[in-house]
Chain A
Amino acid sequence: MNPTSPFSLCVIALVALSLLGLPVGHAMIAGSILYLYMKGLDMGTAAEQLLNGMYTSYLLLAIPLFILAAEFMNSGSIMDRLLRWCNALVGRFRGGLAQVNVVQSIVFAGMSGSALADAAGSGKLMQSLMTRDGKYTPAFAAALTAVSSVLGPIIPPSIPLVLYALISDTSVGYLFLGGVMPGLLLGIVQMALIAFTARRRNFPVEPAVPLREWPRLTWEAFPALMMPVILLGCLYSGITTPTEAAATAAAYALAVSAFLYRSVSWRDVYHSLVTSARITVSIGMLIAGALVFNYVITVENIPKTVAALLQAYELSPLTYLLIVNVILLILGCFLEGTTILLVIVPVMLPTAHALGIDPVHFGVVAVVNIMIGLVTPPYGLLLFMMVKIADVPLGDLVREVMPFLGVMIGALALITLVPDLVLFLPRLLGYKG
């Protein structure tokens, strides 16, 4: 490729500006403007692509609404009730509280589409519960919250799967269904690892909750436990669009916190709106930049070129998937996940398509990779968040994360090798792929 061609310069500018510390969204817009200028095209095209793209991608509205739903959930006392219920379920085993942490994340994953929201919501509470009386080391507790939060966007609802649906033109409903079993599998391998090390590390056991307490605890947590049912019910019965299902989820979360648990004030609602809006702006700017940059990618026909290039190597679908896994895992160590999803994955898609890889399977594999990237050093947003919440050194945290990373990558390999793990549920509900 000619290094002084407009496209090369556009990519160089994008990478250079990002490395200099410019927000990635701006870097993509600025790089694209440079491209338009070099090509002698109308520089108003950047505005046109951004505005029309944002204005017509109705599906994207699910993102702020899912964020809002998670914020409403976090602002009420829902988390306390959920934790008591999880404790009744698995607290009695060795390493009980550690297991509670994972089960809580699985349940919360069914209500929220964001891993960082899960860690922010339960992180502090879980940390103080687990480290009280020196039960667990702070680093282990923090590492566990980080890795279990990874499940949030794999089990539906999921913000990254909504983004993937947008770039790949795949049904959100089937993608969500495809995430269920991989998400549970990741939860199971984490719980298995805890059970396996519990005796050696002498993890404590929580006092068993008597059976007669169970109905009351379940009743208290019931409205929260119903959230995934309502959300997925809305989606799969076809009553609402995915975006409307997200709005319903947010409304339900608000109603449960406000009326049933009476734990939300107007101030909390306003605070949730501001927090959600800030996150929306941050991710929205990245989407805006990607819309402009994707125009350049399309004009230059890059994905097709890459696909043609790779065709010469006569890769098998499996080899290609494994290569994709390795690339995404490495990128996940250095880049923020949304950037990978919006910039790198679209380039990988046409080849996957040409090789006959199922788009739902490919999407779930890509998202699991990107989520694992949230806990891989040196750059892992969940690690940074837990360092802040738990006040533990990054090195100690990373050491405790490593074994979990191992089993999660094992589970990822299984998900990659056995497409049925992803596709069984979507096919059961009518997916033809």
Chain B
Amino acid sequence: MAELLSLREAVERFVHDGDTVALEGFTHLIPTAASHELIRQGKKDLTLVRMTPDLVYDLLIGAGCAKRLVFSWGGNPGVGSLHRLRDAVEKDWPHALEIEEHSHADLANSYVAGASGLPFAVLRAYAGSDLPKVNPLIKSVTCPFTGEVLAAVPSVRPDVTVIHAQKADRKGNVLLWGILGVQKEAALAAKRCIVTVEEIVDDLQAPMNACVLPTWALTAVCLVPGGAHPSYAHGYYERDNRFYQAWDPIARDREAFTAWIDEYIRGTEDFAAFQQKLASKHHAEAK
């Protein structure tokens, strides 16, 4: 049974320094609030797994929480580069970052294998690509039936997965809908799973084949309304494209970035306080 906890308590209890952590959500339902809490609590030496690092890992990398990054597409969608990721890879700032790079199909399959309790995933991939030359974990396997040579990649088995979802009920069953990405697979592949949700309701009223994660498959459920901003939560709020654009100049400059996380993340008690601070800044600018 999942415990209903504050995000602070869930991160304190279930994320440890040195853990392999997957914050998943494919453009939609990105668990931003959880990335902030990891920074507030100064978690370090994390191996971060995520198909699209997005702003959440740009933050964690720039804040010095990451030792290693496992990913498949590292840009700021619709804007350009993730500057903290690039600065770490190109200039070792704030320290060197090991990278383990895959393709989307590979990582998606690796999560499926992890959720299935298998040691590796098999897929038709990478023939002729240079990626296996720079990632020794991409190997091949010969089909025992046809002789076809296929790619073999290790399954993803995070210590902790964090996802964001629309709803939970009071027992901790979770419902999500819209673009599902690899959230279900990432949740089931992990030893522990924390879910932040927009709201907690008496009855999920989930359609029969809806994507429901049962409470007994989860570790903690935390109420964090707006916790996916600046990504979106279908049915609740839209993607804040302007924030993604505004992130570019902040992340481009080391001092601007550090000042930003000192003020907005380390300088706030929790995500609700962060949201208030951000809103009052926007309010002041609008005047």
Q: Do A and B bind each other?
A: no
Q: Which residues of B contact A (CB under 8 A)?
A: none
- Which chain A residues have a beta carbon within 8 Å of chain B's beta carbons? none
